[in-house]
Amino acid sequence: MSLGGSSVGSGSAAFRRAFEFGRTHVVRPKGKHQATIVWLHGLGDNGASWSQLLETLPLPNIKWICPTAPSQPISLFGGFPSTAWFDVKDLSENAIDDLEGLEASAAHVASLLSTEPAEIKLAVGGFSMGAATSLYSATLFALGKYDNGNPYPANISAAVGLSGWLPCSKTLNSKMEGKDEAARRAAALPILLCHGKGDDVVPFKFGEKSAKALSSSGFQDVTFKAYDGLGHYTIPEEMDDLCAWLTSKLGLEGSS
């Protein structure tokens, strides 16, 4: 599935990048369908690898949609192309966010959720830069619009970020100020952040500061879980915590 740059993204059409999204992998629920989650992979990965892991989780009521990011030049790699939801210039607290890439990927996520039945709860989640894109999508849902002003269409019930960070965290508070509807949506949206203390790719403090930035911007249901010795990968304990949290926050029956 692909979305051209003409339909997503922001800024002048003359300078807009084209984003060709890769293959989307779907894990269908083994029981009664109650929730659909778009799950986003990390830099250089694809939707297939995560779909294989998610299929093994004891969550029979969830449909997982695992898209593949566009292949694009990555500044961090000296312009070498890789599958990525947005460009990364450097992994530092003062790095400039690739807003155009973030907006395009968030629009892609919303489009994947747009055909789900009305009674199905919708959520977003991901790992590393996939987590960053999911958390960015959560802020768009709260604000009710994309950065370019277009309305954000997906009604998100939960967001998850594993080993990731919150893009545009420094401007979130000011964007939320004085907006009652945005404050209401933010307060009611459950968000789970998980991070390994031994992460040598996306430092632990990025996850910790992202959780604090969300909380200080009015997101009142933020859970931050830290894992001693965990690097930039997942472990069964983290997956168990994810399953318990999703079952609770999405009100899943937990059986077929």
CA 31/CA 50 separation, integer angstroms: 20
Bridge partners of residue 65, in order along the sequence: 26, 38
Name the phi and psi angles at 37, rounded to 5.
-125, 125
Q: Which residues are catalytic?
A: 128, 199, 232
The structure tokens 């390994």 sit at 196
CA distances from 241 to 31, 164, 248 (A): 21, 16, 11
CA 91/CA 180 separation, integer angstroms: 33
